[in-house]
Amino acid sequence: MFVLNRVQSINNIFRQVNLIKNALENNYPLKRWLHDHLTLAILGENLSFPYVWLRDNCQCEMCFHQSARSRILDWSNFDLDVKPRDVVRDENSLQVTWTDGHKSKFDLNWLKFRSFTADNQQRYNEAIYKPKKITWSGEQFQKICTKHEYDEILNSDKGLYNWLLKLSTYGVALIQNTPNSETAIDSIVERIGFTKRTHYGVKFIVQHVANTSNVAYLSSNLQMHTDLPYYEYCPGANLLHCLVQTKSLGGENLLSDGHFIAEHIKENYPDQYKLLTEVEVEWSDIGTEDKNDFFKLYRAPVICLDKHGAVTRINFSIPQRGSHFPGTIDMVKPWYEAHRLFLALNHRFSAKFKTKEGDILAFDNIRLLHGRNAYEDNNDNVRKLIGAYVDWDEIYSRLRCLKIKLKSEDTVY
Amino acid sequence: MFVLNRVQSINNIFRQVNLIKNALENNYPLKRWLHDHLTLAILGENLSFPYVWLRDNCQCEMCFHQSARSRILDWSNFDLDVKPRDVVRDENSLQVTWTDGHKSKFDLNWLKFRSFTADNQQRYNEAIYKPKKITWSGEQFQKICTKHEYDEILNSDKGLYNWLLKLSTYGVALIQNTPNSETAIDSIVERIGFTKRTHYGVKFIVQHVANTSNVAYLSSNLQMHTDLPYYEYCPGANLLHCLVQTKSLGGENLLSDGHFIAEHIKENYPDQYKLLTEVEVEWSDIGTEDKNDFFKLYRAPVICLDKHGAVTRINFSIPQRGSHFPGTIDMVKPWYEAHRLFLALNHRFSAKFKTKEGDILAFDNIRLLHGRNAYEDNNDNVRKLIGAYVDWDEIYSRLRCLKIKLKSEDTVY
């Protein structure tokens, strides 16, 4: 093991003992690693990098394709026990000559940004991977729902970045002063990337239709829901451009933060939390749109968790919950009780407001529930929204590109 | 509790005792359910249905919108303790009058298809939810990779159904005799639905490009991989239309069944299986395509499992594995060992073949690994493929619609 610049501190030795202990406790195979890494001080921190990781991430032209920014190293010949023959460090870089003569050079900032300490990993996550989410309840809505100008999003990278950052942090952000045209929303979508197409189209129109394929196209109460939970690849964000708002009573939007509700249930109703996170429901949509038949089914709990217990997705829709319950009969009644609780809490903690013509309401469709109160069209006033979905893959990608472009971080990516 | 047609058998009582036992063991809240369901004999089986489920799934016009085929029952007033006042059964239907006077009518076949016994649920799953997957190793490839005619898929629902069923069962199925045009693949896609668009376009061209944004657009060896693992919504199926095949040596495709490899590793290398299913990797793609910047990142293990331990998705790509390793340092070396094992086994159990001009190779991109041997273009012979992705949401939807259309099942959906 190479130790550069300073002797390892007692703390560092303790850390290594803990790593071995953790590895043994987790029952992972543990071989040779202690003698298989290089430790060096970068900006006051002792950081360790496994030889195998360094060799795998060699940035030279033979190992890494510069325009594709991709590893091209041939793994059929890769030596897992690769060792350095010589290591030279200068102010800004580390140069390693491996026993087979291959040479690698690493920028020190580049290394530090990829280092394995918990602090550095956390910094990387929030700087690059995904912005942290902040939950809210209805009474905080006026504060957290920021308003953004249509023109600014179109013409300024900073404007676009701010809007997308708010959307990913709070799950909702409003655009105002949008031109009164069915295609105005397209320019916003193009600033991000492209829409997520579904069987309802590349975009969709929300308007009262009598013999509809979807209850969202009715003027009656639209109970709180997430859109299209029957898609395994459920649309990530929903953009709804209000072209014509109803002049009748009603037509208000309801919005609630499913992540806030999940936290609340976890804390106060642990039995129901277990049911809502574990019992799979069959979400369903069957019909014909634009002469094409569809029959979508997808099974997932109301609250989906990752393996760390963090909420990844909320599914909720009374109309689009299928009649087939894919669980045991003893789960049915308790699950229905938890389902009612979830709905009631979403109403209790929801925000109510009415969008204006020219507004584009943008919200996270796998996090927020939305609904709409009943309204009445008349001959001179037919409520009309244009909708488009954009996936989080594209939104996060655009956020990362903008962050670099705007140089809001001085990190080497 | 209503008991119709026959006294419950001893077996049924045992079953109920077991259900209570299971529920208690699973620590789920258990209230009143024993007296909250209705049992009736349908075609020789005693089947039970909870009252709350029956009321929630009332099919009358007030509770269920006929053209949207969706529940419109108002859940803000829903009574979880709903009880029948009267139950009448005739040869084909069950009619329930609830204590509030509301009447529901159910078709008996409809009920049976949705019943809660393990056997009936299994039948439903395979008939409707998703066809069962069958795994294979390279030496079985010639047998399992069926060949389908382009014209038949376009002109016959049965032909389309057969192709999609093979594709979903084995993860691969070949279309042959495709017209030699860049748009021929579009007609196949339209028979299913539409493509999954990515930052590489609505479709994409695979051809040697010197300063490329993606290593797939080079003529060197293309190591075995899945496409676009850095997408959370990773393209489901890959359709590759061979317009021009290379006349040089090389250019053969390699294909392996990641589900077969996963089973093999689970059985023979449990430590590595744990690493490949638990350690998250950061998949990455950074660059510019068609003047649009992208910076995609997604974290997931190589082998992704659902909570039942079934494989849901395989991620593998040497070029698109990022340089940031989002785990602890002690995981690095063991994980690299598991990674090498995974790659080696995919090679050992792969099939090798060379597509012909006019072939569309269709394969499951979240299940199979694919690769290609190096080749050489010359002025008269430039290898060229047209590619399109289609998501499983759309493929399964089309399969379900076709199954009903072809009446291959006599079930009431």
Which residue in A30, A73, A333 is closest to B36 by CB distance?
A333
Residues of A in contact with B287 (CB under 8 A): 67-69
> What does the pLDDT read at residue A210?
73
Residue B172 to residue B166: CA distance in whole angstroms:
7
The pLDDT confidence band at residue A396, using thresholds 50, 70 and 90, is very high
DSSP string, B264-319: HHHHH-HHHHHHHHHS-EEEEEEEEETTEEEEEEEEE-SEEE-TTS-EEEE---ST
A99-145 pLDDT, tens digit per residue, is 999 999 999 999 999 999 999 999 898 889 999 999 999 999 999 99
pLDDT at residue B167 in the model: 98
Pairing relationship of beta strands B37-42 and B45-50 according to DSSP bridges? antiparallel
Beta-carbon separation of A328 and B19 below 8 A = yes
Question: Contact B223/A75, CB-based, under 8 Å?
Answer: yes
Band of the pLDDT at B282, cuts 50, 70, 90? very high
Q: How many residues does chain A have?
A: 413
Q: Residue B35: exposed, middle, or buried by beta-carbon count in 10 A (0-12, 13-18, 19+)?
A: exposed
| 3-state secondary structure at position A37 | strand
Return the residue of B nearest to A324 by Cα. B114
The pLDDT, as a whole number, for residue A248 is 87
Best mutation target among B218, B254, B329 (most A Cβ atoms within 10 Å) is: B329
Paired residues of B389 in beta bridges: B238
Contacts of B404 in chain A (CB under 8 A): 295
pTM comes to: 0.90
pLDDT score recorded for residue B375: 87
Helix (H) or strand (E) segment spanning residue B147: strand B147-149
Angle of the A157-170 helix axis to the A184-192 helix axis, nearest 10: 80
Chain-chain contact of B19 with A128 (C-beta, under 8 angstroms): no
C-alpha to C-alpha distances, A306 to A95, A277, A310, A311, nearest whole angstrom: 39, 10, 5, 6
With CB atoms and an 8 Å threshold, state whether A50 touches B333: yes
Domains in chain B, start-ordered, CATH in brackets? 2-125 (3.30.2020.30), 138-404 (3.60.130.10)
Torsion sign over Cα B396, B399, B403, B408: negative
Torsion on CA atoms B399, B404, B406, B409, rounded to nearest 10 = 100
Q: Which residues contact B321 (CB under 8 A, 6 or more apart)?
A: A71, B281, B282, B283, B284
How would residue B292 be classed by pLDDT, with cut points 50, 70 and 90?
very high
Nearest to B340 by CA among A56, A49, A34: A56
* C-alpha to C-alpha distance for A160 and A158, rounded to whole angstroms: 5
Q: Do A330 and B287 touch (CB under 8 A)?
A: no
CA nearest B389: which of B366, B372, B355?
B366
Closest Cβ opposite residue B19 in set A221, A233, A329: A329
CA proximity to B237, closest of B286, B154, B169 = B169
Q: Which of B119-133, B171-185, B224-238 shows the lowest mean pLDDT across its residues?
A: B119-133
R_g (Cα) of chain A, nearest Å: 26
Q: Are B228 and B321 in contact (CB under 8 A)?
A: no
> CB–CB of B274/B191 below 8 Å?
no
Average pLDDT, chain B: 90
> What are the two backbone dihedrals, phi and then psi, of residue B408, each rounded to the nearest 5 degrees?
-75, -10
B128/A36 Cβ within 8 A: no
What is the model's pLDDT at position A26? 47
**What confidence tier does A27 reach under pLDDT thresholds 50, 70, 90?**
very low
Q: What is the phi-psi region of residue B95: left when phi exceeds 0, alpha when psi lies from -120 to 50, beta otherwise? A: beta
Q: What are phi and psi for residue B185, nearest 5 degrees?
A: -70, -25
Chain B residues in contact with A50 by the CB 8 A cut-off are 329, 332-333
Mean pLDDT of all residues in B262-268: 98
DSSP 8-state assignment for residue B125? I
Q: Which residue has the higher pLDDT, B208 or A389?
A: A389
Tell me, what's the pLDDT at B221? Answer: 83
Of B48, B232, B324, the CB nearest to A393: B232
Do the Cβ atoms of B172 and B259 come closer than 8 Å? no
Q: Which two tokens stand for residue A313?
A: 């997705």
Degrees (nearest 5) of the Cα angle B398, B231, B382? 80
* Average pLDDT score over residue span A243-256: 92
| Helix/strand/coil for A38 | strand
Selected residue with higher pLDDT from A211 and A274: A274
Compute φ and ψ for A224, nearest 5 degrees. Answer: -60, 140
pLDDT band at A7 (very low <50, low <70, confident <90, very high): very low
A348-A354-A359 Cα angle (round to 5): 130
Going by the DSSP 8-state scheme, the letter that residue B330 receives in this structure is G
Which residue of chain A has the CA closest to B47? Answer: A329
Residue A235 · residue A227 · CB < 8 Å = yes
Distance CA B73, CA B77 (A): 9
The answer on pLDDT for B6 being more than 90 is no
B174-189 mean pLDDT: 98
Q: Determine the average pLDDT of the residues in A351-374.
A: 96
Q: Tell which residue, A54, A357, A391, A108, has the closest CA to residue A237.
A: A391
Question: In 3-state terms, what secondary structure has residue A120?
Answer: helix
Which member of B113, B128, B294 has the closest CB to residue A397?
A: B294
The total of other beta-carbon atoms located within 10 Å of residue A102's CB is 16
Task: Taking residues B128-136, report their average pLDDT.
Answer: 95
> Mean pLDDT across the stretch B165-189?
98
- Rounded to whole angstroms, how far apart are CA atoms A117 and A114? 9
Could you give the angle at the alpha carbon of B201 between the alpha carbons of B198 and B202, nearest 5°? 90
Q: Which residue has the tokens 């060699």?
A: A58
Task: Work out the pLDDT band at A20, boundaries 50, 70, 90.
Answer: low
Mean pLDDT, to the nearest integer, of B219-231?
Answer: 92
Chain segment B359-407, per-residue pLDDT in tens = 999 999 999 999 998 888 888 888 999 999 999 999 999 999 999 999 8
Identify the residue whose tokens are 């543990």. Answer: A30
Q: List the beta strands (DSSP E) in A177-232.
A: 204-206, 222-225
Beta pairing partners, B46:
B41
What pLDDT band is residue B32 in, cutting at 50, 70 and 90? very low
Residue type, B142: Q
Give Cα separations from B137 to A134, B128, B154, B166, B304 (angstroms). 47, 27, 30, 16, 20
3-class SS at B199? coil
Amino acid at B46: N
Find, among B231, B235, B309, B237, the residue nearest to B270 by Cα. Answer: B309
Which residue of B lies nearest to A47 if distances are taken between CA atoms?
Answer: B329
Interface residue of A329, A402, A413 to substitute, partner B, most B CBs within 10 Å: A329
pLDDT confidence of residue A323:
96
Radius of gyration (C-alpha) of chain B in whole angstroms: 26
Average of pLDDT values for A83-106? 96
Give B380's contacts (C-beta < 8 A, 6+ positions apart): none
Q: How many CB pairs under 8 A join A and B?
A: 275
Neighbour tally for A310: CB within 10 Å: 11
* Strand duo B147-149 + B172-176: pairing: parallel
Q: What is the mean pLDDT of residues A401-411?
A: 77
Please give the residue that has the higher pLDDT: either B251 or B279.
B279
**For A132, which DSSP code?**
P
pLDDT band at A377 (very low <50, low <70, confident <90, very high): confident
Q: How far lies B83's CA from each of A69, A297, B87, B98, in Å?
A: 64, 30, 10, 6
Q: Report which secondary-structure segment, H or E, holds A186.
A: helix A184-192
CB–CB contact B80 A321 (8 Å): no
Tell which wins on pLDDT, B219 or A179.
Answer: A179
Dist. CA A67–CA A118, nearest whole Å = 31
Q: Which of B26, B121, B332 to mutate to test the interface with A (most CBs of A within 10 A)?
A: B332
Q: With pLDDT > 70 as the criterion, what percentage of chain B qualifies?
A: 90
**pLDDT at position B376, please?**
87
pLDDT for residue A17 is more than 60:
no
Q: State mean pLDDT over A12-39.
A: 55
Mean pLDDT of B101-108: 97
Euclidean distance between CA atoms A81 and A33, whole angstroms: 10
Q: Please, what is the Cα angle at A192 between A191 and A195, to 5 degrees?
A: 110
pLDDT value at A296 more than 80 = yes
**Helix (H) or strand (E) segment spanning residue A56:** helix A51-56
Q: Give the N- to C-terminal CA distance of chain A in Å, as an integer.
A: 27
Residue B358 is predicted with a pLDDT of 97
**Structure tokens given for B320:** 């698109």
Q: Which of B34, B61, B71 to mutate to test the interface with A (most CBs of A within 10 A)?
A: B71
Q: Is the pLDDT of residue A18 over 80?
A: no
